[in-house]
Amino acid sequence: MIYVPHKQEKMHGIGRRDMLFIIFSGLATGLSWMFFFGALQMGLASIIIPIDKLSILVTIIFSYLVFKERLSKKSAIGLVGIAAGTLLLLV
């Protein structure tokens, strides 16, 4: 994407460690989509999509355990709303 706005010269300012994380993030994202579409081919979308949407809970728990991030009240209310709405899709 950096080639579209012609910003590729700014890549030289990115450290090796940061570039490694960017590459791993891209690979993880690609694998996630491959598994998601594979699951859709094998199962019902009405079951798979809510499970996929609940991955936000895993992300929040990971950020709490690994990075010691705290949820604000506003974010916690939003998270509860997302989780409740997703669980309603299963009913």
The residue ranges of every structural domain in the chain are 1-42, 44-91
* Whole-number Å distance between alpha carbons of 69 and 71: 7
At 7 the pLDDT is: 78
Provide the token pair at 69: 């991030």
What rounded mean pLDDT belongs to the chain? 89
At 65 the pLDDT is: 92
Rounded to 5°, angle at Cα 5 from 18 and 21? 15
Q: With 80 as the cut, is the pLDDT of residue 79 above it?
A: yes
Note the pTM of the prediction, 2 decimals: 0.63
Which has the minimum average pLDDT: 7-11, 13-17, 71-75? 7-11
- Helical H runs in 1-91? 16-42, 45-53, 55-67, 73-90
